[in-house]
Structure 1
Amino acid sequence: MKISVITIAYNDRAGLESTVDSVRRQDWPDIEHIIVDGGSTDGSADYLAGLPDAVNWVSEKDGGRYDAMNKGATMASGDLLWFMNSADVFHSEVSVSFVAREYIKRKFGWGYGLSRIVKGDESVGMAGKVPFEKARFLIGGQVIPHQASVFARDFFWSLNGYSTNLGLTADQEFMMRASLKSDPTVWAEVLCDFDVTGAGSTRSAWAHYRDMMRARSSAGIRVTRYQALDTAVSVFFWLYTLVDRIARRPLRRANPRFVPEDNA
């Protein structure tokens, strides 16, 4: 049972090396690593040329990250596709084998786990929600990390791959369409580490909800009976997220301590 790990990169040789090393450390024996470099000028092509023949790579200009991801998918021959961009790494040496065995036990169209958000050697958060709630996801209140998501190759192409005109929201827009075709298999398992310095990791909450509204419109998806109500619910979740973040600020600076009863 073959898994195709697809990595896109552009002028990020150090991050690319980290991802390649992470794939090499996986204990699953049948992994196909495909690397699509966008014509980098930082020595990435020289590095790729020195890799073993088992790594299938190309370095040339493309139409952007999702064009590159689709290109990688056309090069793939595995049963499952796993998109791990440069600087993203698997959480442990058994991440791929865990998913592979789950697929062997019960074939699925797509699935996802959890992603640890890191900044250097520091863990700064966790991405992914268990269990999956379709309506909340479609409205924008639940984010699925693409680094911790896997797709059966036939299922991926039944959806015609990623849209290439939606910017960074194409990840979630694709999974919107996937969720309407089939519910994901979900694992309460950390599968990867996501580099917080990458593109899309420092965007505002409003940018996320705005993009999700655009994605619903593009895909022709309506969650409630009325588009205006979908928008209102998205705005509600954005405001809830904003208030939650503001409320946490003084709590981070708090210094909890015991107080004697007479000073309580």
Structure 2
Amino acid sequence: MNISIITPTWNRGQRLRSSLESVAAQKTSPHEHIIVDNLSTDETPELIAAYARSASYPVRHIREGDNGIYHAMNKGLALAKGQALHFLNDDDMLFASDVLTSMSRCLDQTEADIVFGDVVLLNEGSQKPQSYRRHRQMNRLTLVERTITQQAIFYRRDVFDRCGAFDAQLRIAADHEWLLRAFLKHDIRGIYLKRPVAVFRIGGVSNEAASEAAHRRERETVTQLYFTPKEIKAARIFRRWARKIPFGATILNFFVPLRLNIRSYRETKGAFRSVPWAWIDM
């Protein structure tokens, strides 16, 4: 299954270089790389031009003004020709050279609408990985307060035909809103593949200290559109204790339905095997 990679960017030439290099290093090349550039005034245009000359796959440089990152992502979505999509921000990187191979195979061999893995958090100061952000415990209540990191997700192209594009009126949490809409209103099928997918730099728009309060307010506004006060209260209980004790999620599931249409898989020698008991310790 061929993959279109979409990268929104604006005046981040030095960071963008690492992102482009991680794509160029893939054993399985993308179908295309669409870079949506909000009229950068640094070295970005020259960097993209050099990248396009050396790449073995089409590189499309869309250079025009936009109204934020989700507007740029929607532009790339409208132009993409691949069967699957991945949104890789200009300051993030694919984790290893086999990421596209692994994720495209999983989409091709399963009926998943999205496949997602884990991300590595990179401490900008030390340039060393700080920790993993694991997405194993994804259910209705984890989505109240947290989301699947966008860089960890590969989307089947036609899922956007059913669920719509990102809400560009939101500034920070539109990827979270899209997942809520997709899982709760359209019952999309997800697969969690136990592997690191991307390197996520700490300090992006959704995790800078200056934007933390705005992010929280926007996320709370989105959450209230999809969850009842009872569910929001249950999410706090889940986060504080139920998920930390053996079978806590399973017990809570009797009172507040937790399960989403998500299955856990492992990859072994290119084959994907379900982990049927994974839901027990959500």
Output the TM-score relative to the length of structure 1: 0.80
Q: Distance in 1 between matches of 2:59 and 2:21?
A: 12
The 3-state SS of whatever aligns with 1:144 is: coil
Q: Distance in 1 between matches of 2:179 and 2:44?
A: 30
Q: Say if 2:147 is the partner of 1:147.
A: no
Q: Which residue of 1 aligns with 2:79?
A: 75
Q: Which residue of 2 aligns with 1:7?
A: 7
Shift of the alpha carbon at 1:30?
4.3
Question: Do the aligned partners of 2:8 and 2:90 also contact (CA within 8 Å) in 1?
Answer: yes
Q: Distance in 1 between matches of 2:183 and 2:134?
A: 15
Question: Do the aligned partners of 2:30 and 2:100 also contact (CA within 8 Å) in 1?
Answer: no
Output the TM-score relative to the length of structure 2: 0.75
Alignment counterpart, residue 102 of structure 1, candidates 103, 106, 116: 106
Q: Say if 2:91 is the partner of 1:90.
A: no
Q: Which residue of 1 aligns with 2:24?
A: 24
Question: Do the aligned partners of 1:110 and 1:149 also contact (CA within 8 Å) in 2?
Answer: yes
Bigger proportion of residues as helix:
1
The gaps in structure 2 that reach 5 residues or longer are 242-282
Shift of the alpha carbon at 1:107?
3.1
Q: Distance in 2 between matches of 1:26 and 1:198?
A: 24
The runs of at least 4 consecutive aligned structure 1 residues that moved more than 4 Å come to: 203-209, 233-238
Shift of the alpha carbon at 1:212?
3.0
Shift of the alpha carbon at 1:34?
0.7
Q: Distance in 2 between matches of 1:216 and 1:125?
A: 26
Q: CA RMSD in A?
A: 2.4
Distance 1:237 1:61, change over 3 A: farther
Shift of the alpha carbon at 1:155?
0.4
Q: Say if 2:164 is the partner of 1:172.
A: no
Shift of the alpha carbon at 1:77?
0.5
Question: Do the aligned partners of 2:142 and 2:235 also contact (CA within 8 Å) in 1?
Answer: no
Question: Do the aligned partners of 2:112 and 2:189 also contact (CA within 8 Å) in 1?
Answer: no
Alignment counterpart, residue 197 of structure 1, candidates 198, 203, 207: 203
Question: Do the aligned partners of 1:209 and 1:234 also contact (CA within 8 Å) in 2?
Answer: no
Q: Distance in 2 between matches of 1:207 and 1:127?
A: 22
Q: Distance in 2 between matches of 1:132 and 1:216?
A: 15
- For 2:143, give the aligned amino acid: L
| CA shift digits 1:14-58 (9 cap, x unpaired) | 111111111000011443111001111112122223332621111
- For 2:13, give the aligned amino acid: R
Superposed, which structure 2 residues align to 1:213-232 within 5 Å? 213-217=220-224, 220-222=225-227, 227-232=228-233
The 3-state SS of whatever aligns with 1:167 is: coil
Question: Do the aligned partners of 2:123 and 2:129 also contact (CA within 8 Å) in 1?
Answer: yes
| CA shift digits 1:159-189 (9 cap, x unpaired) | 2210011221111111111212214111111
The gaps in structure 1 that reach 5 residues or longer are 242-264
| CA shift digits 1:132-181 (9 cap, x unpaired) | 22x213322x4311001111111023222100112211111111112122
Q: Distance in 2 between matches of 1:60 and 1:7?
A: 14
Q: Distance in 2 between matches of 1:9 and 1:237?
A: 37
Which deviates the most, 208-217 or 111-120?
A: 208-217
The 3-state SS of whatever aligns with 2:206 is: coil
Q: Which residue of 1 aligns with 2:44?
A: 44
- For 1:136, give the aligned amino acid: L
